[in-house]
Amino acid sequence: MPREEKRLVSAGFLTADPRYHSAKAFRDVLRVIMSHENYAPEWVAGGDHKVERRQFGPDLVASLPGEWERTHPLWDMLRFRPADVTITLLKSTSHFEPLLVNVEREFLTATDNLAEFIMLLKDLYGVVHPAYGEAHVEEMKEVHDSPSGRKLSIGFDLKRALPDIYWANFLGPEYVNMFGVDKVLSSPVYSAERLPDGGALLLLTKSPLDYLSERRQFEKRRTEAKNHLGLEAFDTGDISHKGKVPIFRFLEEKERLRQQRFTRRRESSESKDDLLSTVRREEWREWIARNRSLALEFAQELAAEGFKLDFSPKSLQSVDDYVERLRASKATPNIEFLKKLSAYAAQVVVRETGASFSFDESEDIPFLRVGKLQVSPLARAQKAILEGEKFEPWYRYLVEELKSNPDSKSRSGIR
């Protein structure tokens, strides 16, 4: 069966610990997964070798942590025997950054394999210090109607509310303190366990696959657990909903460090290309390959902030409003934020004009070609972040140029 057709059990942790970007954090994660025989990686994709898949071996154990600290934001640790396993580490501009685990669900029908999976998750929890974590099968995720009429799953915005109760639920110490340790440990679930850092693990049933065979009973227990903890702490699917949330660890420290990095970057900037010049050519190739997914991530993240982005030219005004608010707050956008911001602008142009990406050997950064015009969403995003320039008039100027010079042979660099 092709790998993409196999059904998975998915797990994930969200951490605000600023040490997550460090070589030590990667080394700790690597140590954990190597200690579990069925999860030790056979292959690695990411880092300096973005698209290439490298066979895992002793030489990479020493080099990978340093690569994670200084380079690429996404890593996949892959294994295909005795089951398909992918463990993904991802740096992002969000307050909480993910570590994801996907394992072929049929593998977990065996009791010993399920026990090892739970132990793996507990060990990973211990090294990434998340505020929250969970494990589920896809069918567990509830959907709601969006304003566009599409069915959407409730997202993961911990600053707004907890998403739901799933099969496995890792509550960091901040949630245990918010709910109260006695209430958490007395939850009507299959098992409730206090974790060494003061957090807790709640297993709703014995196995994540119980949902497939006993859905009604699973949903009943899920409802009871949410009622027990308090419905005010859980997301409703309404983008304007603000639930009960704890005081999160690490967020203040993380924001302080981001401010320092941004200040140093701006003070040391000697040209308008300062942010862009920090990115290697290989990363720009990946930016092109992941452009659509990066744009969708950006739209989803801004939706959590109350900005509706539908990939229309009009939505660029909302993007401008968001960036203006970001600059006013003196927040610390980094290159990963710039990549997502520029990807969204690029996708608006592609959708409306049929533009295509260009990245010749002579070009420092990717461009969009619209007819004979050359357009740079990346340069525009940098100007928006550092200088307060706008996307909406930039796009309007592009449209006017296309109307007035549809066959122009000039290489207009519309930045």
Region class of 198: left (phi > 0), else alpha (psi between -120 and 50), else beta:
left
Q: What is the pLDDT of residue 111?
A: 97
Q: Which two tokens mark 14? A: 């969200």
Alpha-carbon torsion (137, 140, 146, 150), positive or negative: positive
Q: Where are the beta strands (DSSP E) in 38-91?
A: 43-46, 49-55, 74-79, 85-90
- The residue assigned the tokens 């440990």 is 185
Strand ranges inside 146-242, DSSP E = 151-153, 168-171, 191-194, 200-203
- Tell me the per-residue pLDDT of 70-110, one tens digit each, with 9 for 90 and over: 776 788 999 999 999 999 998 876 789 999 999 999 999 99
Give phi and psi for 408, each to the nearest 5: -60, 135
Spell 132-160 as b/e; 16+ CB within 10 A means b: bbbbbbeebeeeeeeeeeeebebebbbbb
pLDDT of 404: 63
What end-to-end distance do the CA atoms of the chain give, in Å? 47
The residue ranges of the chain whose pLDDT is under 50 are 1-4, 48-50, 146-153, 264-273, 407-413
pLDDT at residue 233, as a whole number: 96
- The model carries a pTM of 0.64
β-strand partners of 294:
none
Residue 72 is predicted with a pLDDT of 62
369's CB contacts (< 8 A; 6+ apart) are 355, 356, 357, 358, 375
Structure tokens at 215: 């859905």
What domains can be seen in the chain, in order of their start residue? 3-233 (no CATH), 272-414 (1.20.120.1090)
Query: Which pLDDT does position 263 carry in this prediction?
Result: 53
H-helix segments, 304-390: 315-328, 335-353, 377-387
Q: Which two tokens stand for residue 80?
A: 């295909």
Instruction: Give me the helix-helix angle, 281-289 and 291-303, nearest 10°.
Output: 70
* Tokens of residue 224, six digits: 């009871």
Q: Which of 310, 291, 313 is nearest to 300 (CA)?
A: 310
In one-letter notation, the amino acid at residue 319 is: V
Number of other residues whose CB lies within 10 A of the CB of residue 349? 22
Q: How far is Cα of residue 158 from the mean position of the Cα atoms in its chain?
A: 13
Reading the block at residue 321, the tokens are: 């409003």
pLDDT at residue number 105: 96
Give me the pLDDT at residue 5, please.
59
